Structure 1
Amino acid sequence: MTVPTRLRPHLVTIAAITALGLIALTVATYILIHQRVHLPWEDRYRISADFGNAQAVIPGQGQEVTVSGVKVGEISSVRLVDGRARVEMTIQRDDLAAVHADARLLLRPKTPLQDMSVDLDPGGPPARVLGEGDVLGVARTRPSVNLDEVLASLDVDVRDYLKILLGGGGRALEGRAAQLRRVFRASEATAARTRAVTLVIADRRRELRRTVANLRSLTEVLGPRDADLSRLVEGGDTTLAAVAAEDAALRKGLARLPAVLDSADSALRRSRPFARNLRAAATTLLPTAERLPAAVTGVRPLLRSGAPALARLTTLVRAARPLVRELRTPVRRLLAQTPPLTKVLHDARYVTNELAFNPPGPEDEGYLFFAAWFAHNFNNFLSNQDANGPYWRGALTLSCTTTELLSPTLPLLEALYATPLKQLCPKTNPEAP
């Protein structure tokens, strides 16, 4: 593509104008992005909150909404609703996915020129996620407190004293910044302890208010009961007199109290692992405890229908008492025989294990294996019988010399052979020459 002859002398000018246009477009884009221009494809959502005071909150000035110091959105509008300032905030979903119903908001200045911002604590589960149209109430928000409001709460004398204090303090601290820093550094421990004492005093104040309220309720209840109160005082006097009479025993008990407390402290320390596991166990038992009322309600019909059977069972137990009394002596005797019986069963178990034991190896067998062969051979041994029943089979081989040695058994041998032995072995006859 060729450039027209007329434009050739102006190419440098055209290139410069094009470059300036690109630079202007880049600068304009940068300015628009940093001037809080929201692009259509950005994912945003809105939340609203009521503040008791929204002084110096001006929408459109880029006043930020921060979480832990990180910007997640900005204030988009503020209007008056039922005498309170309702502040609407636009949140970038990429920076903060959701805000929950237990969120807390603090309105505070970022600079001494009252450049306001909202410090947001978004909360979390199990609180629900806020949707479009949901509003956080005044109880979840804190407005910014200005110095003039603090000074306005002081009377004239306190203001004058404050002016004198500030003026005198300014003259006293003039040129002593290093010494003041050392004083502040040295007072850190004192400030920490003072804070702890202040917290304890604040707790005591709450406890004192509750004590006064409970004392008032107690007084209102005890007011119409003077007679009962008098009897209570008389009973307390008698109790204290009885305690005073046991002064020596009380002293002895108090002397032993430290050892008891030490033992209790040791026991509590040892029970810490149990307490840690108890929480998990109790949490696991919560579903069972929640279903227990329904189970108790469901078992009521069974209890009603089982009441007659329970009454008959009670009668049976009463009737069985004499039998139970008679069984005491046999049971006692049976318990006396239990140790020998246990030993017999132990020996029987040993014998059974020996008989049933099968040695390792393909050729080694236990007693039970050979018991079958023994039964088979024993059956063959008694397989013959006559009118008198089974009889043994066997072969007995003797010599005449053996019979001479077994002379006491000659009658038995003659009965076996059914022949006089002198015919078999004449030498065994003592009358033979």
Structure 2
Amino acid sequence: MSGTGSAPGRLSRAWQRTRNEPGLLRNVVAMGLLMVLGVTAGAIILSNQRFNPPWADERIVYATFDSTPAISPGNGQEVRIAGISVGDVRAAEVDDNGKALLKLAVDRDYPVFDNARVVLRPKSPLNEMYVELSPGGPPGKELAEEAVLPVGNSQRPVQVNEVLGHLDDNTRFALTTMLAESDTALANAPATLPDSLRNADGLVADLKPVVDQLDARREKIAQLISALSQISTAVGGNNERITHLATNLQQTLEVLNKQNPALDDSLGQLPDVSAQLRAAMDGVTQLAGELDPALTNIRGASDKLPGALSRVSDSVKQLDSTLDVLSPVLAKARPVVGDLRPAVGDVRASLTDLVPISHQLDPVTSGLVPYLTDLQAFVYNTNSVASLRDANRGILRGLLQVTPTSLPLPLQGLATPTPR
């Protein structure tokens, strides 16, 4: 209790001494100002050196590169996502495969997936580097603490000396001159470049979907290469399966070798088949030769067919007119035919009895044939013997006389009858 109670007394006595002793207060104030200035300067220096407090909430991710030129861990080289600083490079080392392995500290607010890509980019012409991180996303899986991105997910920049190292002295001098002249020419670029170059922004915007598709394709190719690597590793490490596969292949080849006789027989039958095909083709060729004259005749007949059809059409029209004329006759003949139909049966029976007689009439008709001409002349010459007509038509004629005496007129005495 005495120790704790004496502390305010000691402070009070120290304060009284500082005020009462000449020059001591000035020294204490100067010391305090110096301490404040020192703390402020240290804070500013640490902030410029990107001091990383131990309580910072960060995720450690390792990225593998073929090479990492101009990387200086601990000097504030940034890790950026879309141009925004989200961490820094903490360390660099060489892995077991001879690749560069960078230790990246990334804010936990930005998850990183196994399909992420890391690219080393220069920040200035002095080759000051930073790491551009594309964090990826689904269907990739989120990386665990201190996970390692393979070299297939990284890309390093091409250094100028790598390009110029393949050029001779004259080419290097010409390239240097061109760069100096281009710097002068591009000083007034916004005012002197043509409008076509200003429209390049639109072209770049149009090409962005293509670049995105190419980037997606590159990621798929990287995944395919990784999968093929895993498959080749699995196949190379499983000698038993490869031996079994080779054994099965040998058995298959032996079975095919046993089938060679049947295959030879099939090939031996091919000449006969080809001969039959050749004969069939010859028959088809001969048929084609016979079809040509037939087609020619058909073509000629087709030329004459319109005229024949026209004449048939005229005949059909005349037949139509004839049928129109015959229609009344046929209508009147229909009752007569109906009346004659009962007599047809009796006539058919009579014809049966007349058939033997007709055979006996053949000599009579053959004897009368020479006299038919004379009989025709006799009939023609004797046609008027019993005819009641002459050159003046019918022979029945009358005479009519008209006189004044035959008429009941009062002038009967004025004239004498004149015979007519």
Give the TM-score normalised by the residue count of structure 2.
Answer: 0.40
Give the TM-score normalised by the residue count of structure 1.
Answer: 0.39
